Amino acid sequence: MTALIAVLLLLAAGVWFGATVDAVAEAAVAGRPVRTALAAPFRRTALMLSRQAIETEHPDTLNHLLAPACYLVLAAAGLSVVPFAPGVAVTDIATGLVLWGACEALVVVVVFLNGWSANAPLPLIGGYRYVAIGLPAMLISMFVLIGTALPAQSLGVSAVVESQRVLINAVRQPLGLPLFLLLGLSITLRGPFNYGDSADLVGGTQAEVAGVQRLLWRGAKLAMLTAFSAMAATVFLGGYLGPVLPGPAWLVLKTALVMLMLVAITHLVARVPPARMLTWLWTVLLPLSFVDLVWAGLEAMR
Amino acid sequence: MALLGQLASPSSWPTSWPQRAPFLGGGDQTVHAWQRYHVRYYSMTLLFIAFEMEMMFMYPWAVVFVAEGMKAMVEMGMFLAILSVGIVYGWREGIFRWQ
Amino acid sequence: MAMTALARMAARAPVPVFVATGQGWLASCRNLAASVDVAVVTNIREAAILIVAGEPRDEDRDALRRLHDQMPHPRATAWWGARPFAEAGSAIEVSATDDPGPLLRSAFAALLARVRESEPDWLPDDPPNPWQGEGDHGQGGKGMMGGTPYGRPMAMTADDLRDGLALDSFTFTIGPFYPSLPPGLALELTLQGDVIQSARVVRPPLDPGEDAAGACRSMTVGRMLRLLELDALARRCEAVPVEDRDAVNGLKRWIGASCAMRAIPKGLGRLAGDDARARFTRMVAALGDAEASSIAGPGGRLVDLLPGLEWNEALLVINSFSHRDLVALAPREMEQEEDSEGSAEQREGHGI
């Protein structure tokens, strides 16, 4: 029960924190006043709530409503495997990494459905394009996650945390965290991996939604950003482990750190065209994840 | 509260037909967007399935890896090497290009 | 009570505006990009106020009507140095030389508080095509695809130009107000998936004039940055004062650090020995210069460069040319077939 409340609190706090940091970073890079950016998330939320939600020409209504809802549920389900303290997790199962992997995979389906359901050309292109990049990005993340399971000798997330008592995985497997962050950008549709909601498609899968629907999709993306950051903090930065402060405080701090990294990359790094990224994913990044796995294996046997 | 209110009661403005038209910067379309879409990366998805299957073997492998030691390492190394040949072949055939 | 608190909170957000580019687009876009009162959005579904920046071309009037009607309620239109349409009702009018910021702010607050009435549609509330199906969902009828389900026909098959696979080809017009295309440019594109099969210029880009090269370049670089998913940097670029050396050099450093040039594949959109990456690199280097730079005698057609390119690549190619070069590369094409919006008498004597 405490764990469930903690998950919901962390999600809510993460959505607020992510929106604020995003607005501040955007204002800083754009050269606009940063102070007003602090209140921007609330104002934008109020604005989206007071406007009309548009229906497209004969949308696939069921999927149109389900896509943002499922995205949100996947974020919550993914976060549920993260332990806040030893033994305190909503789903403290021995196959936590597999459950997280399933959530990742379903994000591809949800984003595609969001693009498909509008029955409009630009969201449709966004949906199909996202699948091309989302699939191989997911493979890479699973290889690096398996790498963290090797020293833990378990697929349970708690065991992965405990295996980092001496040295955190970010140091022990230096390729792991950078590769995993790529997946974070991909499943939250951000910056250099934003192939679903891209600007060249004026918003891609969300190009046709307005008002409260746009708010839901944006909220779901930020919830997924929170869930991903908490997972990255747990698997690579030692999660609740740390001196002096209580465990949950360390988890929150580390989660915030990962979020900051992702937001900075979002606004500072250019995105390449999809065909080029697809080639890089398969011929450079996937082999790198093999190297990470071998590295993790040799290190675990030491 | 406001969110729930909005969701419960449909907005006071019903969507009209001109509003429903897809946004194309003032442009227009004559046919439905839903179509038999030409996905350019279909051959890549086949390669993806090969790796996805491989992932299933990796879950149990990861748990017993430290116990089995070098033997497990060599086994997975062989497996990945074979799949890597697949990547190289696919690359040579141009399956990662948008064609 | 709750509603008014919500409206007050919402009214403090920057006014989301979409700019419909008429003849006065360049000065207006630069002004709005630097304004803290407004946030220029690239999608009409996010906008609350449509700004008509300068008199629109006669042939763009129907596109403007379509655009207006897609904006969600509550909404309004501001005519900045343009005459309102007869159907516009209670329009916000701003003279070309005035700053629209305060007017937009007060209109926005009035809209949200429901003091100002939201604008009704300018087009009749009819489905795009008459219903032609036989069954409940428009299915049935003659031929493989049946009638016109849900008021539009389905796409029909055609051979793909790359692999000859016969899947649906999808034709639509895009522009003249599409934010990732140069202002005024409208294209008719035929796609298979997201690859362009054929392209035709429906409307040429608006001519920015000889003396506006510096300001125009920063808008073009901004569009390129947005195509590379660097929206915040694009905003900085669009607002940068061209005569401020420090600001321009700072911007160039940001762009260089973001790998924006290297993100564009080599050899893309080659024309007269230059590819898109080289053109963009030169354009960024020339930011802050007032004089125009032109590729030596382009002597090609934009529409010949596009077939076979993926959506993102095609837009990168289009925006890699300076605006003036594009005016030369994308001339108005002679059209035999009917053009749905520009009727013959409208086009007469209304060249730009």
User: CB of C257 within 8 Å of any CB in chain A?
Assistant: yes
Nearest to A114 by CA among A186, A213, A192, A44: A213
| Beta carbon pairs, B and C, within 8 Å | 128
Residues C174 and C216 in one domain: no
User: CB of A52 within 8 Å of any CB in chain B?
Assistant: yes
CA–CA–CA angle C259, C263, C267 (5° rounding): 135
Residue A183 one-letter amino acid: L
Candidates C9, C229, C231; nearest CB to A192 = C229
The nearest CA of chain C is from the CA of A144 a distance in Å of 26
Q: C9-23, C157-171, C237-251 — which is least confidently predicted?
A: C157-171
Tell me what pLDDT residue C345 has.
37
Any domain includes B18? yes
Contact by Cβ (8 Å): C212, C281: no
Q: What is the full per-residue pLDDT of chain A (302 aa) written as tens digits?
A: 788 888 899 999 999 999 999 999 999 999 888 888 888 899 999 999 988 888 888 888 899 889 999 999 999 999 999 998 888 788 888 889 999 999 999 999 999 999 999 889 999 999 999 999 999 999 999 999 999 999 998 999 999 999 998 889 999 999 999 999 999 999 999 999 999 999 999 999 999 988 898 999 999 999 999 999 999 999 999 889 988 888 889 999 999 999 999 999 999 999 999 999 999 999 999 999 999 999 998 888 87
Q: Which residues of B touch C340 (CB under 8 A)?
A: 28
Tell me what pLDDT residue A125 has.
93
Would you call A132 and B41 a contact, using CB atoms and an 8 Å cutoff? yes
Any domain includes C117? no
Q: Give chain C's domain count.
A: 3
Q: What is the C-alpha to C-alpha distance for residues A194 and A186, in angstroms, rounded to an integer? A: 6
The nearest CA of chain C is from the CA of A33 a distance in Å of 8
Structure token pair of residue C2: 């709750």
Beta bridge partners of C189: C172, C199
pLDDT of residue C168 exceeding 50:
yes
Structure token pair of residue C91: 């329009």
The nearest CA of chain C is from the CA of B95 a distance in Å of 13
Tell me what pLDDT residue A56 has.
86
The nearest CA of chain C is from the CA of A1 a distance in Å of 32
What b-and-e string marks burial along B22-57, b requiring 16 or more CB atoms within 10 Å of the CB?
bbbbbbbbebbbbbbbbbbbebbeebbeebeebeee
Any domain includes B97? no
pLDDT of residue C54 exceeding 90:
no
User: CB of B9 within 8 Å of any CB in chain C?
Assistant: no
C273 alpha-carbon distance from chain centroid: 28
Q: What is the widest separation between alpha-carbon atoms in chain A?
A: 61
Instruction: Tell me which residue range forms the domain holding B81.
Output: 2-92
Tell me what pLDDT residue C346 has.
39
pLDDT of residue C138 exceeding 60:
no
Structure token pair of residue A77: 């389900």
Q: How far is CA C1 from CA A77, C4, C5, C6, in A?
A: 36, 5, 6, 9
User: φ, ψ for residue C166 (rounded to 5)?
Assistant: -90, 90
Q: What is the C-alpha to C-alpha distance for residues C44 and B62, in angstroms, rounded to an integer? A: 50
What's the DSSP call for residue C165? -
Contacting A residues, span 80-119, partner chain C, CB-CB under 8 Å: none
Q: How far is CA A108 from CA A104, A111, A125, A133, A135, in A?
A: 7, 5, 14, 9, 7
Would you call A200 and C312 a contact, using CB atoms and an 8 Å cutoff? yes
User: φ, ψ for residue A76 (rounded to 5)?
Assistant: -65, -40
The nearest CA of chain A is from the CA of B11 a distance in Å of 6
DSSP string, C29-77: HHHHHH-SSEEE-SSGGG-SEEEEESPPPGGGHHHHHHHHHHSPSS-EE
Would you call C70 and B38 a contact, using CB atoms and an 8 Å cutoff? no
Q: Which residues of B touch C67 (CB under 8 A)?
A: 25-26
Residues C10 and C100 in one domain: yes
Any domain includes B39? yes
Instruction: Please compute the mean of the pLDDT values over residues C127-147 and round it to a whole number.
Output: 59
| Other beta carbons within 10 Å of A266 | 27
Query: Most B CBs within 10 Å: which of A290, A292, A294, A295, as the mutation test of the B interface?
Result: A290
Of the three residues C112, C140, C167, the one that is the final residue of a domain is C112
Tell me what pLDDT residue C86 has.
83
| ipTM for the predicted complex | 0.92
Any domain includes B7? yes
E-only strand ranges, A254-293: none
What b-and-e string marks burial along A168-185, b requiring 16 or more CB atoms within 10 Å of the CB?
bbbebbebbbebbbbbbb
C12 alpha-carbon distance from chain centroid: 27
| Other beta carbons within 10 Å of A32 | 21
Of the three residues C164, C186, C203, the one that is the final residue of a domain is C203
What's the DSSP call for residue C164? -
| Beta carbon pairs, A and B, within 8 Å | 133
Instruction: Using CB atoms within 10 Å of the CB of residue A190, give its burial: 0 to 12 exposed, 13 to 18 middle, 19+ buried.
Output: buried
Q: What is the C-alpha to C-alpha distance for residues A131 and A187, in angstroms, rounded to an integer? A: 11
Any domain includes C100? yes
Position C270 confidence tier, pLDDT thresholds 50, 70, 90: confident
Q: Is the dihedral of CA A133, B38, C265, C239 positive or negative?
A: negative
Residues C100 and C164 in one domain: no
Structure token pair of residue C168: 């649906």
Q: Which residues of A touch B3 (CB under 8 A)?
A: 49, 212, 215
CATH, residue B15 = 1.20.58.1610
Instruction: Please compute the mean of the pLDDT values over residues C158-174 and round it to a whole number.
Output: 79
The nearest CA of chain A is from the CA of B48 a distance in Å of 7
Q: Which residues of A touch C265 (CB under 8 A)?
A: 272-273, 275-276
Query: Most A CBs within 10 Å: which of B34, B49, B85, as the mutation test of the A interface?
Result: B34
Any domain includes B33? yes
Any domain includes C349? no
Q: What is the C-alpha to C-alpha distance for residues B26 and A56, in angstroms, rounded to an integer? A: 16
User: CB of C229 within 8 Å of any CB in chain A?
Assistant: yes
User: CB of C223 within 8 Å of any CB in chain A?
Assistant: no
Candidates A95, A124, A283; nearest CB to B91 = A283
Would you call C178 and B24 a contact, using CB atoms and an 8 Å cutoff? yes
Q: Which residues of B touch C121 (CB under 8 A)?
A: 16, 18-19
- In sequence order, what are the residues at sequence separation of 6 or more whose Cβ sits closer than 8 angstroms to the Cβ of residue B77? A294
What's the DSSP call for residue A285? I
Candidates A30, A128, A194; nearest CB to C194 = A128
Nearest to A178 by CA among A189, A170, A188, A190: A170
Any domain includes B99? no
Instruction: Please compute the mean of the pLDDT values over residues C297-304 and round it to a whole number.
Output: 77
3-class SS of residue C250: helix
Instruction: Using CB atoms within 10 Å of the CB of residue A122, give its burial: 0 to 12 exposed, 13 to 18 middle, 19+ buried.
Output: buried
3-class SS of residue C221: helix
**Strand pairing of C156-159 and C166-174?**
antiparallel
Query: What is the enclosing helix (H) or strand (E) of A221?
Result: helix A211-236
Which residue has better confidence, A173 or C324?
A173
Position C297 confidence tier, pLDDT thresholds 50, 70, 90: low
Q: Give chain A's domain count.
A: 1
pLDDT tens, position by position, A28-55: 999 888 888 888 899 999 999 988 888 8
Tell me what pLDDT residue C294 has.
66
- In sequence order, what are the residues at sequence separation of 6 or more whose Cβ sits closer than 8 angstroms to the Cβ of residue C105? C15, C37
What's the DSSP call for residue C21? E
- In sequence order, what are the residues at sequence separation of 6 or more whose Cβ sits closer than 8 angstroms to the Cβ of residue C199? C187, C188, C189, C190, C302, C303, C306, C307
Rg (CA), chain A: 19
Q: Give chain B's domain count.
A: 1
Q: What is the C-alpha to C-alpha distance for residues A95 and C119, in angstroms, rounded to an integer? A: 56
H-state helical runs in C49-172: 61-70, 101-112
Structure token pair of residue C102: 């305060």
Would you call B33 and C170 a contact, using CB atoms and an 8 Å cutoff? yes
The nearest CA of chain B is from the CA of C68 a distance in Å of 9
Structure token pair of residue A226: 């929170």
Of the three residues C56, C88, C112, the one that is the final residue of a domain is C112
Q: Is the dihedral of CA A200, A204, A209, A214 positive or negative?
A: negative
Instruction: Tell me which residue range forms the domain holding A122.
Output: 2-301
Q: How far is CA B44 from CA A100, A127, B13, B83, in A?
A: 24, 17, 45, 13
Question: Tokens 């159907």 identify what position?
Answer: C87
Query: The whole model's pTM is what?
Result: 0.91
DSSP string, C253-320: HHHHHTTHHHHSPTTTT-BTTB-HHHHHHHHHHTTT--S----S---S-HHHH-TT-BHHHHHHHHHT
H-state helical runs in C152-242: 213-227, 231-239
End-to-end Cα distance, chain A:
40
Strand order through the sheet with C186-192: C156-159, C166-174, C186-192, C195-203
pLDDT tens, position by position, B45-58: 888 998 888 888 88
Instruction: Tell me which residue range forms the domain holding C167.
Output: 153-203
Nearest to C108 by CA among C80, C76, C79, C81: C76
pLDDT of residue C338 exceeding 70:
no
Q: Which residues of B touch A150 (CB under 8 A)?
A: 62, 65-66
Which subunits sit against A, judged by 3+ Cβ pairs under 8 A? B, C
pLDDT tens, position by position, B38-86: 888 888 888 899 888 888 888 989 888 888 888 888 988 898 899 899 8
Contact by Cβ (8 Å): A78, A229: no
